Amino acid sequence: MSASAVFILDVKGKPLISRNYKGDVAMSKIEHFMPLLVQREEEGALAPLLSHGQVHFLWTKHSNLYLVATTSKNANASLVYSFLYKTIEVFCEYFKELEEESIRDNFVIVYELLDELMDFGFPQTTDSKILQEYITQQSNKLETGKSRVPPTVTNAVSWRSEGIKYKKNEVFIDVIESVNLLVNANGSVLLSEIVGTIKLKVFLSGMPELRLGLNDRVLFELTGRSKNKSVELEDVKFHQCVRLSRFDNDRTISFIPPDGDFELMSYRLSTQVKPLIWIESVIEKFSHSRVEITVKAKGQFKKQSVANGVEISVPVPSDADSPRFKTSVGSAKYVPERNVVIWSIKSFPGGKEYLMRAHFGLPSVEKEEVEGRPPIGVKFEIPYFTVSGIQVRYMKIIEKSGYQALPWVRYITQSGDYQLRTS
């Protein structure tokens, strides 16, 4: 991959900040970007890749900013996009939110970061934890001369610095499974998949060696324990720190972790599961007078589990008015700016069934533009439960100083892209 320059533009396409890495594409070319984008949008042919003459623009939008990489080479598209995302991620970690304001307020740091992230069009140090060791936000504090080189920049293990110390050595393991669901208007499940991630929060001193044991079916078959309950993982992906060769050989997940938060691994399960929260809805629209909505929600998971923070958003016509609700549990709220009713239920035990009715008035003059049919969306979180039944069997922590460290495990199932189409 090779990017010639990186630009951050405001909504109108005016460059807020830019960095010319290679100097082989004139910086003025960016002026063509916005007109091109607008033109393509009108033609209905907008794509994340635009070209003008011999310049290719690879762009992405984040809040009210456009991030654009220009290149004149036949670059590797997915890598350039990954770099732009990485840039966004780094900025977000520095400024909490990445938007026009934060770029304007922090232009010095932005310049510093752009300088370290890439050189001559090639990504260099992109790990925000390492960057944070030598580019700090308190730049108003004057440091005289002695700013040290963080050891990580020169370390063999590039993702962890040496000499980290904690009083209490702990690891928090979060096993999170998100359920993606797409249900047709007639109630048939079009798509149902589970994307699992294991996230770690590491507070460990020194250079610890970690080994994670899961009830992985392949591993159990290898070791002849196939009678035990196990899970078949698909598309397993690991953080850079995991020794892939060992996993391939004997399915051991061993690694030296980075400090703090990171995502250790992700996996996918495409086994069909019953939708955890099932919605049946009737949306009746009587033109010029009213809309009547009836939504039935059913928890199709174990009785012992409870779904928390359930939010069911039901679309309503944009010209609806005077909402009235009746719910058997929880509360409903009309959010006119998103054209939805949100029905929230704080805790929703498995096996239960609840009902909501909503009534809206419609103006007698019908508006002209046609509206789409947005789906019903559901958000929820079920703690102490995984759909797949994955389990952390052990987490071994070995450090040469021999300290005792405690691993904590937490299981959560949550909604991902959970949509039920309406007719």
Site for another protein in 62-121 (CB under 8 A): 72-79, 81-85, 107-108, 111-112, 115, 119-120
Task: Output the smallest distance, CB 22 to another protein, in A.
Answer: 7
Q: Note whether 240 binds another protein by CB under 8 A.
A: yes
Nearer to another protein, 48 or 349 (CB): 48
Q: Per this entry, what is the length of the chain? A: 423
Tell me: does residue 317 bind another protein (CB under 8 A): no
Copy the structure tokens of residue 237.
């992906």
b/e per residue, 111-148, with b = 16+ CB within 10 A?
A: ebbbebbbeebebebbbbbbbebebeeeeeeeeeeeee
The reply on whether position 353 binds another protein by CB under 8 A is no
Task: Quote the distance between the C-alpha of residue 245 and its chain's center.
Answer: 27
User: Could you tell me which of 265, 289, 52 has the C-alpha nearest to residue 176?
Assistant: 265
The alpha-carbon radius of gyration of the chain (Å, integer) is: 26
Among 124, 226, 328, 331, binds another protein (CB under 8 A): 124
By C-beta, is 191 or 335 nearer to another protein? 191
Least spacing, CB of residue 254 vs another protein, in Å = 13
When binding is defined by CB under 8 A, the residue of 165, 227, 248, 272 that contacts another protein is: 248
Number of residues that bind another protein (CB under 8 A): 93
C-beta of 206: minimal distance to another protein in Å?
20
DSSP 349: E
* Least distance between another protein and beta carbon 96 (Å): 20
Is 4 near another protein (CB under 8 A)? yes
Minimum CB separation of residue 349 from another protein in Å reads 29
Residue listed under structure tokens 């590797």: 76
What one-character DSSP code corresponds to residue 373?
A: -
Rounded Cα distance, 13 and 32, in Å: 9
User: Which secondary structure element, helix H or strand E, spans residue 42, and what is its range?
Assistant: helix 33-43
Residues in 137-196 that interact with another protein by CB under 8 A: 139-140, 142-149, 153-154, 156, 158, 180, 182, 185, 190-191, 193, 195
Q: Does 123 bind another protein (CB under 8 A)?
A: yes
- Cβ proximity to another protein: between 192 and 230 the closer is 192
Based on the number of CB atoms within 10 Å of its own CB, is 374 exposed (0-12), middle (13-18) or buried (19 or more)?
Answer: middle
- Cα dist from 248 to 63, 84, 103, 262, 268, whole Å: 40, 31, 43, 22, 18
Which residues between 280 and 309 bind another protein (CB under 8 A)? none
Min dist CB 302 to another protein, Å, is 27
Cα–Cα distance, 267 to 197 (Å, whole number):
6
Task: Please say which residue, 92 or 355, places its beta carbon nearer to another protein.
Answer: 92
Closest CB to another protein among residues 77, 392:
77
- Residue appearing with tokens 């026009």: 100
Q: Name the residue nearer to another protein (CB basis): 48 or 383.
A: 48
Torsion of CA 158, 164, 170, 175, to 10 degrees: -20
Closest CB to another protein among 84 and 202?
A: 84
Residue 259 CB, nearest approach to another protein (Å):
17
Nearest to 356 by CA among 393, 317, 392, 313: 313
Residues in region 6-45 near another protein by CB under 8 A:
15-17, 22-25, 44-45
Please tell me the distance from the alpha carbon of residue 210 to that of residue 367, in angstroms, as a whole number: 62
Q: Is 238 in the site for another protein (CB under 8 A)?
A: yes
Q: With respect to another protein, which residue has the nearer C-beta, 24 or 399?
A: 24
